[in-house]
Amino acid sequence: MARAIAGDTAAFERLYRAHVPRILALTRRMAGADRADDLTQDVFVRAWQKLALFRGESSLATWLHRMAVNVVIEQFRTLGTARERFLPEGDDVLTRVAAPTVSERGWHAAMDLHVAVNRLPPGARAVFVLHDVEGYKHEEIGTLLGVSVGTSKSQLHRARMSLRGHLTATEAAS
Amino acid sequence: MSAHPLDVLSDYLDDDLDPQARAAVDAHLTACESCRVVLADLTALQGAAARWRDADVAPPADLWPGIAARLTGPRELAPAAAPHAPTPGPRLAWYQRRWSVGLPELALAATLVAALGGTLLWPRVTPAPPAAGAAAPVIAEAEAFDGGDGQVTPVNFADAQYDAAVVDLERVLREQRERLDPRTVVVLERNLRVIDDAIREAREALATDPANALLNAHLAGARQRKLDLLRRAALITEGD
Ligand SMILES: [Zn+2]
């Protein structure tokens, strides 16, 4: 760590090897496989630049995780308008009541979830991943994304209902 | 039966409803199988999401080379005083960041540098709490250096970038010189001489022993301190 701060790229590469599987998984969840590699590179370049600011108040894993979330969210802001980034209010996704057979199929692997999450607009996706996967609170998510707590809650609910719709549709098709 | 309370099922699941609203949903659920199915789906989705967290992804082989090629740009220095210093506002070059440093600190730095100038290793020095509420900078912060495992790592923070920063700061100081207390100028110049000597000595020693890890660390530390000192001095000329 001290060596990586002092400019030793070999030491930094060891740090990268130890942490990249988690960071890559996170960027894939948040931004999809297409952009995950580039974003992960951005995360580690930024970590290199800011390593001297790491104070050891959290673990390095947590510090990198936060940094990755920020890198992904900054990138979201370049994707379309706010309206395009979130699920529309009043979408009929909330008014559908599924047929009673649905819950019996169970939820498969992360694979299914990944595919379904890919169809969410990036802001709604971020809310879902941050809350339901990464364990962030609505207050933190609101701050990160620049939305109200109410919007975070409502986007989470819409994302969940939408995912449920995608997954049940996938189920029906197979 | 009342309308399906689909819009609050997430709140219900997250235990984010007041008792009255919760009781109303409970009552509906006992009577409505459709809503029970939705709730079961949402619960299952929550479980799947939690399991997703544990997935790791092996990086493609070309990921690291792409990163390594980009490790040449500016790096941020540890903040001198603030335990956490988010840096809002307009972005300055990393060596232009504003620090809270006053003349007492610079004088102290001078004393320290003068006292330690001849030694090869620089200890981590934190000055005593300053008088006038100024933040205490960490002066002459040596890298925690471990020379014990036999691994040798050459200095590799970008020379061009370092040189550019030094040139830039030296120019600022030249132009602003008359705004500095003459005693500060004396102290500053003495400090810079000491550090420059250390840098020159380390470079000369490295020329004959390029793999010497201790010398490499010493050189990196000395350059870092020079930059720190110039930066602090330049900030003083901005006026407090
Ligand atoms: Zn119902």
DSSP characters over chain A: -HHHHHT-HHHHHHHHHHHHHHHHHHHHHHH-HHHHHHHHHHHHHHHHHHGGG--SSS-HHHHHHHHHHHHHHHHHTTSS-HHHHSPPTT-GGGT----TTGGGS----HHHHHHHHTTS-HHHHHHHIIIIIT---HHHHHHHHT--HHHHHHHHHHHHHHHHHHHHHHHHH-
Do A128 and B49 count as a contact with CB atoms less than 8 A apart? Answer: yes
Average pLDDT, integer, range A77-86: 73
Residue B146 pLDDT: 34
Residue B48 pLDDT: 86
Nearest to A13 among B38, B56, B64 (CB): B64
Average pLDDT, integer, range A145-160: 94
Ligand 1 centroid – CA A170 distance (Å): 23
Average pLDDT, integer, range B91-109: 44
Q: Are residue B179 and residue B234 in the same domain, yes or no?
A: yes
B69 lies in some domain: no
For domain A2-77, the question of CATH label 1.10.1740.10 is answered with yes
B63 lies in some domain: no
Distance between CA atoms of B68 and B53, rounded to whole angstroms?
A: 28
Residue B16 pLDDT: 94
User: What residue ranges in B76-156 does DSSP mark as E strands?
Assistant: none
Q: Are residue B92 and residue B183 in the same domain, yes or no?
A: yes
Nearest chain A residue to B224, by CA:
A6
Q: Are residue B19 and residue B106 in the same domain, yes or no?
A: no
Nearest to B57 among A24, A57, A103 (CB): A24
pLDDT confidence bin for B150, thresholds 50/70/90: very low
Q: Are residue B21 and residue B127 in the same domain, yes or no?
A: no
pLDDT confidence bin for A166, thresholds 50/70/90: confident
Domain that includes residue B12, residue range: 6-53
Distance between CA atoms of B98 and A74, rounded to whole angstroms?
A: 25
Do A53 and B76 count as a contact with CB atoms less than 8 A apart? Answer: yes
B121 lies in some domain: yes
- Using alpha carbons, select from A148, A67, B53, A76 the residue that is nearest to residue A156: A148
- Using alpha carbons, select from B233, B87, B155, B162 the residue that is nearest to residue A50: B87
Average pLDDT, integer, range A108-114: 64
**Residue carrying the six token digits 């989470």:** A156
- The predicted-structure confidence for B172-229, as pLDDT tens digits, reads as follows 677 777 766 666 666 667 666 766 766 777 677 777 677 666 666 666 777 776 777 6
Q: With left for phi above 0 and alpha for psi between -120 and 50, is residue A147 left, alpha or beta? A: beta
Residues of A in contact with B41 (CB under 8 A): 98, 102-103, 164, 168
Nearest chain B residue to A12, by CA:
B68
Please check whether residue A17 is in contact with residue A24, taking contact to mean a CB–CB distance below 8 angstroms.
Answer: no
Average pLDDT, integer, range B154-175: 63
Nearest chain A residue to B6, by CA:
A94
B68 lies in some domain: no
Distance between CA atoms of B200 and B86, rounded to whole angstroms?
A: 35
Residues of B in contact with A51 (CB under 8 A): 75
Distance between CA atoms of B193 and B226, rounded to whole angstroms?
A: 10
Please check whether residue B173 is in contact with residue B237, taking contact to mean a CB–CB distance below 8 angstroms.
Answer: yes
pLDDT confidence bin for B61, thresholds 50/70/90: very high
Do A132 and B77 count as a contact with CB atoms less than 8 A apart? Answer: no
Ligand 1 centroid – CA B44 distance (Å): 18
Q: Are residue B18 and residue B93 in the same domain, yes or no?
A: no
- Using alpha carbons, select from B71, B42, B151 the residue that is nearest to residue A156: B42
The full set of domain ranges for chain A reads 2-77, 83-173
In chain B, the number of structural domains is 2
Question: Of residues B224 and A59, which shows the higher confidence score?
Answer: A59
Phi first, then psi: what are they for B125, rounded to 5°?
-120, 125
Q: Is B84 exposed, middle or buried (0-12, 13-18, 19+ CB in 10 A)?
A: exposed
**Residue carrying the six token digits 């395009």:** A84
| Residue A124 in this model has a pLDDT that exceeds 50 | yes
Ligand 1 centroid – CA A169 distance (Å): 20
Do B83 and A40 count as a contact with CB atoms less than 8 A apart? Answer: no
Do B84 and A55 count as a contact with CB atoms less than 8 A apart? Answer: yes
Residue A111 pLDDT: 58
Residue A174 pLDDT: 54
Ligand 1 centroid – CA A164 distance (Å): 16
Q: Are residue B34 and residue B114 in the same domain, yes or no?
A: no
Q: Are residue B122 and residue B211 in the same domain, yes or no?
A: yes
- What is the token pair recorded at A91? 């979408």
B19 lies in some domain: yes
Say if A2-77 and A83-173 have the same CATH topology.
Answer: no
B218 lies in some domain: yes
For domain A83-173, the question of CATH label 1.20.120.550 is answered with no
Ligand 1 centroid – CA B30 distance (Å): 9
**Which residues partner with B125 through β-bridges?**
B139
B156 lies in some domain: yes
HSE on the CB side for A171, CA within 13 Å?
A: 19
- The predicted-structure confidence for A89-106, as pLDDT tens digits, reads as follows 765 555 555 543 444 455
Nearest to B51 among A25, A110, A157 (CB): A110
